[in-house]
């Protein structure tokens, strides 16, 4: 997943032996584990629910275990049955506990006979936290309703009763009934030529954690981009998306050359409506992607590099707890850079690494001490809070440091071996370090000590000797920005010819937090950033302009906030607005209009920003 840019991380540190104590799951995998899931679901757009059955195959670890405990959130349970070898069903007693705000409701099923499989009939809630139901008016083509899931971090439990922990992996099959004009896709093998007959079947033969369980349905067209890749999107978007992602096969081949064969057969991309709260989600076989990357020049195609990299780091080798999420995101961001370099050149890869590092350097001091660590100490913070920028940026920076110390050839061999050794397993930070020591540190002595490694992993902040790549183009931009702010270079004399998206991002990122209003006006007069269709540039530009007090940009900023539901591109504008009473009032007006099109996660984030700002605003004069 692309980062959400929250400001708090941390979960409990869990060694493999203690995974039953996952603080974000009621599951008891030391007693029994789900190994396979069979889903039979009906899509009900009218009532905004999934209605059906989940059949779980069970591996009993404790012969005396009295029950099976599952995670649910806002599910209406209709029945629970044990199934024998012939398929005969026997009703089981169960209890659904009161709802916990974060964890949902514990489902305890009495299983004295330890069945090898059981079936649960259920219906989801229209407000399921892991599903979003869009009206036709909220889609690009405005013809049919749309539905999609977002299961990470712990939202799979809102649409399937299961053991919702990254430590527990299972295979799955699914049968989905849908209206005959709707195409259904899942995080499994998808048939690009599937007829619109309302009857869809899927198979995921590889064991995956629950957060990678995904489904989407709507008015979708398909364009193949290679022998094992395709793009799915609404008809008016699909050709633009196919052009933007036409290098997908090159990206797959480049990654295979570095780190071994692609293990998942197909790699397809689904471009979702603008309300999708993330940049991308690495659902196996079917990456979900935001339309905000469709800028026409492939400058933001690193999102595909990132989500594809998850096919090795995250999907193949998975963090066993949310505390260890850097094993997914730090490794993936490093691999993303290597893919980008192989296909688009070292200069672009270095620019993206520098953007990430400079942003972290600027923001890390604002984080709580524990939140500055790759492997935080026990804090009991929510699972969604673990998805901040730090695991991505600091984790990849650490791996680039290892590459520099040990040499690219040696580090590549280590990383390829790491992916092969832990394939289709969920592991902890400590298991990763136990593998690192003999296979890299001890193999090439004198390059880097375990003490130095532990500083990166367990200490707050950044090591003073953390290496940064060099970017001559960024150096030139630094000089121009400095001259412009000093008044020795006019805005219209900035040499922006040929600047890519990353270079505009870098120019804007390193402007003062509150840039003088006259400087903001000069930039806009020269380069017309207000109204830009590029959401990455727009987010940065509007944030600066709002902070400077430029009310002329407010309508364009509001349009950006209403059109885009991606957290990372929307919440910074709300944060900029709520710093003044007038801005807070305007933000509330914008949110009232935008809310119906936002994902529940985005709604919660924006409401939190507004609520936090209100007491301060009341005290302001």
Domain boundaries, the chain: 1-23+254-262+298-469, 25-164+168-219, 472-619
CA distance 583 to 174: 47
Q: What pTM did the predictor assign?
A: 0.90
Rounded CA separation 569/608 (Å):
16
pLDDT of residue 341: 95
Element (H, E) at 196: none
Least confident stretch, 276-280, 503-507, 578-582: 276-280
Spatial CA neighbour of 337 closest among 408, 439, 268, 289: 408
Kindly report the CATH number that applies to the domain delimited by 25-164+168-219: 2.60.40.1730
59: left (phi over 0), alpha (psi -120 to 50) or beta: beta
Domain 472-619: CATH architecture, name and number where available:
Alpha Horseshoe (1.25)
Q: Residue 298's pLDDT is what?
A: 83
- Give the residue-averaged pLDDT of 416-420: 97
pLDDT in tens, 205-243: 999 999 999 999 999 999 999 999 999 999 999 999 999
Buried-state track 368-394, b at ≥16 Cβ within 10 A, e below 16: eeebbbbbbeebebbbbbbbbbbbbbb
Helix (H, G, I), strand (E, B) or coil at 407: coil
Mean pLDDT of the chain: 92
Cβ-based neighbours of 380, under 8 Å, separated by 6 or more: 10, 11, 12, 23
Whether pLDDT at 593 is above 80: yes
Q: Of 307, 341, 352, 403, which is the active-site residue? A: 307
Give the whole-angstrom CA distance, residue 129 versus residue 149: 9
| 310 is known to lie in a ligand binding site | yes
Do 169 and 162 form a contact (C-beta atoms < 8 A)?
no
> What is the DSSP pairing of strand 317-319 with strand 425-427?
parallel
pLDDT (tens digit per residue) in 302-343: 889 999 999 999 999 999 999 999 999 999 999 999 999 999
Q: Is 528 assigned to a binding site?
A: no
Exactly one of 172, 392, 418, 542 is catalytic; name it.
392
Pairing relationship of beta strands 229-233 and 267-271 according to DSSP bridges: parallel
Q: What is the pLDDT of residue 614?
A: 87
Ordered DSSP codes for 295-332: -SSSTTTHHHHHHHHTTTBTTTEEESSGGGTHHHHHHH
* 184: nearest Cα among 148, 142, 143, 228: 148
Q: 158 and 107 in contact (C-beta within 8 Å)? A: no
Residue 152 annotated as catalytic: no
Dist CA 351 CA 343 (whole Å) = 15
Q: Is 306 annotated as a binding residue?
A: yes
- Spatial separation of the C-alpha atoms in residues 257 and 267, rounded to whole Å: 16
Q: Which CATH architecture has domain 1-23+254-262+298-469?
A: Orthogonal Bundle (1.10)
- With a cut of 60, say whether residue 609 has pLDDT above it: yes
Tokens standing for 233? 């999107």
* Residue 392 bears catalytic tag: yes
Distances (CA, A) of 120 to 38, 209, 538, 607: 10, 19, 47, 35
Distance, in Å, from the CA atom of 447 to the CA atom of 421, rounded to the nearest integer, reads 23
């Amino acid at each position: 997943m692309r980062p959400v840019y929250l400001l708090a991380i941390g979960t409990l540190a869990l060694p493999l032996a203690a995974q039953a104590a996952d603080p974000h799951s009621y599951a008891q995998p030391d007693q029994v584990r789900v190994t396979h899931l069979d889903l039979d679901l009906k899509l009900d757009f009218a009532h905004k629910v999934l209605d059906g059955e989940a059949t779980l195959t069970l591996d009993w670890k404790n012969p005396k275990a009295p029950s099976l405990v599952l995670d649910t959130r806002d599910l209406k349970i209709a029945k629970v049955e044990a199934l024998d070898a012939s398929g005969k069903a026997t009703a089981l007693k169960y209890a659904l506990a009161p709802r916990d705000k974060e964890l949902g409701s514990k489902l305890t099923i009495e299983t004295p006979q330890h069945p090898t499989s059981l079936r649960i009939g259920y219906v989801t809630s229209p407000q399921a936290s892991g599903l979003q139901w869009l009206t036709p008016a909220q889609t690009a083509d405005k013809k049919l309703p749309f539905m999609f899931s977002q299961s990470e971090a712990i939202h799979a439990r809102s649409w399937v009763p299961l053991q919702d922990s990254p430590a527990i992996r299972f295979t799955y099959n699914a049968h989905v009934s849908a209206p005959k004009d709707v195409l259904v896709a899942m995080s499994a093998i998808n048939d690009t030529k599937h007829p619109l007959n309302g009857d869809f079947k899927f198979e995921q033969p590889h064991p995956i954690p629950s957060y990678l369980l995904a489904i989407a349905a709507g008015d979708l067209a398909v364009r193949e981009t290679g022998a094992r890749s395709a793009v799915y999107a609404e008809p008016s978007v699909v050709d633009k998306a196919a052009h933007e992602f036409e290098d997908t096969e090159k990206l797959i081949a480049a990654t295979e050359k570095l780190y071994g064969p692609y293990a998942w057969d197909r790699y397809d991309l689904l471009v979702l409506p603008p309300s999708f709260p993330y940049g991308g989600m690495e659902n196996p076989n079917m990456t979900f992607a935001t339309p905000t990357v469709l800028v026409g020049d492939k400058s933001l195609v690193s999102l595909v590099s990132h989500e594809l990299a998850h096919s090795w780091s995250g999907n193949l080798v998975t963090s066993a707890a949310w505390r260890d999420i850097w094993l997914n995101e730090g490794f993936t961001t490093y691999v993303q850079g290597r893919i980008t370099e192989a296909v688009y050149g070292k200069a672009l890869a270095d620019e993206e690494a520098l953007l990430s590092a400079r942003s972290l350097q600027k923001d890390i001091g604002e984080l709580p001490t524990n939140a500055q660590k790759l492997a935080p100490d026990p804090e009991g913070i929510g699972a969604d809070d673990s998805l901040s920028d730090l695991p991505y940026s600091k984790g990849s920076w650490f791996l680039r440091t290892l590459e520099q110390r040990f040499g690219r050839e040696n580090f590549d061999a280590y990383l390829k071996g790491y992916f092969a050794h832990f394939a289709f397993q969920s592991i902890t930070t400590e298991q990763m370090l136990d593998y690192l020591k003999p296979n890299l540190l001890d193999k090439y002595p004198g390059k880097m000590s375990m003490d130095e490694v532990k500083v990166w992993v367990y200490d707050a902040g950044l090591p003073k000797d953390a290496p940064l790549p060099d970017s001559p183009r960024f150096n030139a931009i630094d000089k121009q920005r400095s001259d412009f702010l000093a008044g020795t270079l006019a805005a219209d004399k900035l040499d922006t010819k040929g600047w890519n998206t990353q270079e505009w991002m870098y120019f804007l990122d390193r402007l003062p937090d509150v840039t003088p209003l006259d400087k903001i006006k000069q930039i806009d007069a020269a380069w017309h950033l207000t109204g830009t269709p590029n959401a990455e540039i727009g987010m940065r530009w509007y944030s600066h302009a709002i902070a400077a007090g430029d009310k002329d940009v407010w309508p364009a900023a509001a349009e950006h906030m209403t059109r885009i539901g991606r957290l990372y591109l929307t919440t910074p504008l709300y944060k900029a607005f709520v710093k003044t009473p007038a801005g807070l009032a305007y933000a509330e007006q914008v949110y009232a209009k935008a809310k119906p099109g936002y994902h529940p996660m985005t709604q919660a984030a924006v409401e939190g920003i507004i609520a936090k700002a209100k007491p301060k605003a009341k005290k302001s004069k």
